[in-house]
Structure 1
Amino acid sequence: MTKKFQSLLAMSLMLSPSMVHSAKEPLPLKATSAWQIDYADDRCRLARRFGEVETAVYIFLDRYGPGEGFRLTTAGKPMKTSLLKDVAEVTFGPSESEQTVAFNNGTSGDLPALHFVGRIRIAPPSDEEKAAIAKLDKNDIWIDLLPISEERQKALRYLQIGKPLRQSVILETGSMKAPLAALDACVDDLMGHWGIDVENHKKLTRPAIPTNSPGEWIKSSDYPSNMLVAGQPAIIEFRLSVGADGIATQCHIQATTRPKEFDDAVCNSVMRRARFYPALDSEGKPLASFYRNTVHFQIP
C-alpha cells in the first residue's frame, strides 16, 4: 500500500512564551502542528505535536484493525520518568473520566516516551461494563462496549497525562470527532487491503471467536532462549486470517518491538494452538475473516 499523509487541520496554534507554570500546576501545551493521518501497510496512525522546543510533546494513536480502541504513545522531554513500567493517569477531558493505563518506559527516536500497553478508548468502561468484565471467565475474550457517540468525541478538548509525571501535562487537542473519523476511514482502507469485504464485516452477527483461551496460545517455552535471557519486554501486534471453516490460515505481524526471531516464535505458537468459531455474516452464514490481538511479554 502506498504511504500517504493527509492534513486534517489547517491551523497550528503556538504556545505563548510568556506562560509560566509552577511545579505543581499542570503544563498546558497548545497544538503546534496539524493532525497527520498515516496510511501505513498494516496500521493507521494519528499524530500531532504540542508545545515548542523543550516542552514539545508528540502523541501517536495507532489502530491495527476496526473498533474504537487504539495504542497510545506520548513522546517528549515532559514525558520523562524514572519508572521502567507502571500505570499512568490518562484523561480525555473535560467530559470523560480518568482511566489508569499500563505503560512501558522507553524512547521514540531520541525522545523519552511512554508506550502504553494494550488498546484504550477515549473513555473507560462504565461501571456496568467493568462489572461485566470482572465476571469474564478464562474462555471469554471481552464484552461489547457501548459505542462512544460523535457528540462525546466532539466535546473533547484535551488529553491529560498525570501520574507518573512529576508535572502533569495537558495537550490541547480540541474536538476529536474529525481526527477519529479519519482514523476510521483509514482502517476501512486497511481492511480492503487485506482482502476483507468491509461492508459485509460491518454487518457481522458474530466475529471470528476463539474456541480456546488466547492466554493458552503462547507459553514461555515457545520463546527463543536468547530472547528470554535478554529479559527485555516485548509488545507484538498480530493478525490471523481465519477461514470460513474457523481455521487460521496465516499469521501477520502488524507491529513489533522485538527481532524477527521473536515474532516468528509468536506466529508459530499461535498458528499451532489457536482455534475459532468462524465469523458469521448478516444472514448467519460463515465467511472468511480475521482475528487480532496483542502479545505483551514481560519478565517479572
Structure 2
Amino acid sequence: MDRIVLALAFAASASLAAPALAQDDKNAPVVLEPSSQWNVDFGDEKCRLARIFGEGDNRHILFIDQGGPKSGFGLIVVGPAFKKFRQPDRITVQFGEFAPVGKYRPMLGDTEGVGTSLIYSNMVFFEKPRSEREPASDAGLDPLPRLDVEAASSISAITMHQGKRSVVFNTGNLGEAIKVLNECSLNFVESWGLDRAAHETMTRLAKWANAEAVTRRIQDKYPMQALRKGESGIFRMRVIVEPDGSVSECEISNATITESLDSPACKEMERAEFEPALDVHGKPMRSFYLTNITYKIS
C-alpha cells in the first residue's frame, strides 16, 4: 500500500501571483480560522474532506482525501500564506501536539484565484518510532487499513512549517470528520466488486512481489510529451488481485490536474506479481492493491 515515487528532480508548476498577506512580520505565525463547515465529497474515484479558512484575499482551502482504505491520506493546502513556501525539503506538517512529520515532501503548485498549493500524495498524523512499530503478521490481526480516529480526535489544528514560517489551520476536533472519511473509503471495497465483510476479517492484504522491477519499467516510460513540458503530476492506481496473485483490473485516476501526463502504469502492471490477500481462514481471496504514482521532473 506504499506510494510509488518516480523522481528525477522537482519542478513547480507555472504560477499565478497570489495576493499578499497583510502581515509584515514574516516570522509571526499565520493563524487561520474556518469560514465554512467541512464539506464531504463521496466521489466515484475518491472521498474528499474540504474546508475553507479565512476570507477575501486571505482565503485558504484545506483538503484531505483518500482513494480507498489506507492508513495514510492525501493532503492539499492552498492559499496566499504559502507564497514563500518554496523549499519542499524544509517543509514539515504538524497535526495537533504530535511531532512534526518531515518524511514526506510536497509537490508545489498554484491554484488560480487562491494561491500557492502544497500537495502531498501521502501523509500520516504522526510517525511511530521504529521500536514501536508492530511486526508484520499473517494471523490474528485486522489488516484492512483505516485512518486513526482516536488520534484524529486529539487534533484540533494542522500547522505547516518552513523554517521560522508557520501557517496554522484551526480545524477543530478532526475525529468525526475522519470517521466519515473512513466509512466513505471502506464503501469503495464493495463498489470494486469485492466482499467488504471478508475484507474486514481478512488476515493479510495482497503483497506486490516484483514491485522494484515493474516500477523501473514505469519510470523508463515517462511520457515524452510531458517530459518536454517539464510536467509533474500525481496519480492514484488501483489493481484487483485474484486469488492466484494475478492482476485482473487496473485503474488510474488523477490526483492532480495534468495536460500531457498520461501514466503508462496499467500497461506495465500486466507484468506485476502478487502474493494474494488471505481471508479469515488463511485462504487466498480476491482483493485490491492501492498505491500512488508521483512523477517529478526538472
Give me the TM-score of the superposition, normalised by structure 2.
0.80
The gaps in structure 2 that reach 5 residues or longer are 1-21, 137-142
Return the match for 1:55 from 58, 70, 77: 58
Shift of 1:259: 5.4
In structure 2, what is the equivalent of residue 40 of structure 1? 43
Q: Partner amino acid for 1:241?
A: I
Seen in structure 2, the aligned counterparts of structure 1 residues 260 and 233 have a Cα distance that, compared at 3 Å, is: closer
1:157-196 alpha-carbon deviations (Å, 9 max, x no partner): 10001116x7411111111110000001111222221112
| Per-residue deviation, 1:299 | 2.3
Equivalent in the alignment of 1:268: 267
* Residues 1:251 and 1:151: Cα distance change in structure 2 (over 3 Å): closer
Q: Which of the residues 62, 65, 72 maps onto 2:75?
A: 72
Give a deviation string over 1:174-224, Cα, whole Å, max 9, x none: 111100000011112222211121121121111111111246434343233
SS at match of 2:106: strand
Change (3 A) 1:182 1:258: closer
TM-score by length of 1: 0.80
Of 280, 286, 289, the residue aligned with 2:287 is 289
Q: 1:175 aligns with which of 160, 173, 194?
A: 173
Task: Letter of the 2:160 partner, please give it.
Answer: I
Alpha-carbon deviations, 1:16-67, whole Å to 9, x = none? Answer: xxx9884322111111110111001111001111112122210000111112
Distance 1:67 1:131 in 2: 17
Contact 1:203/1:281 (<8 A) preserved = yes
* 1:153 matches 2:164: no
Unaligned runs of at least 5 residues, structure 1: 1-18, 134-143
Q: Is the 8 A contact 1:223 1:266 kept in 2?
A: no
- C-alpha displacement at 1:258, in angstroms? 6.1
Count of matched residue positions in the alignment of Structure 1 and Structure 2? 269
Q: Secondary structure at the match of 2:71?
A: coil
Alignment of 1:88-127 (within 5 A): 88-94=91-97, 96-100=98-102, 101-127=104-130
Distance 1:148 1:73, change over 3 A: closer
Q: Secondary structure at the match of 1:241?
A: strand
Of 210, 215, 218, the residue aligned with 1:217 is 215
| Superposition RMSD in Å | 2.9
Secondary structure, counterpart of 1:205 in structure 2: coil
Distance, in Å, in 2 between the alignment partners of 1:84 and 1:27 is 18
CA drift at 1:279: 0.8
Aligned-pair identity (%): 27
Q: What displacement does 1:153 show?
A: 2.0
Residue aligning to 2:4: none
The letter of the residue matching 2:287 is S
Q: Which residue in 1 is equivalent to 2:196? A: 198
Q: Which residue of 1 aligns with 2:185?
A: 187
Amino acid at match of 1:111: V
Counterpart-to-counterpart distance in 2, 1:148 and 1:262: 30
Which residue of structure 1 lines up, in the alignment, with residue 231 of structure 2? 232
Whole-Å Cα distance in 1 between the matches of residues 60 and 215 of structure 2?
37
Cα gap change, 1:227 to 1:111, in 2 (>3 Å): same
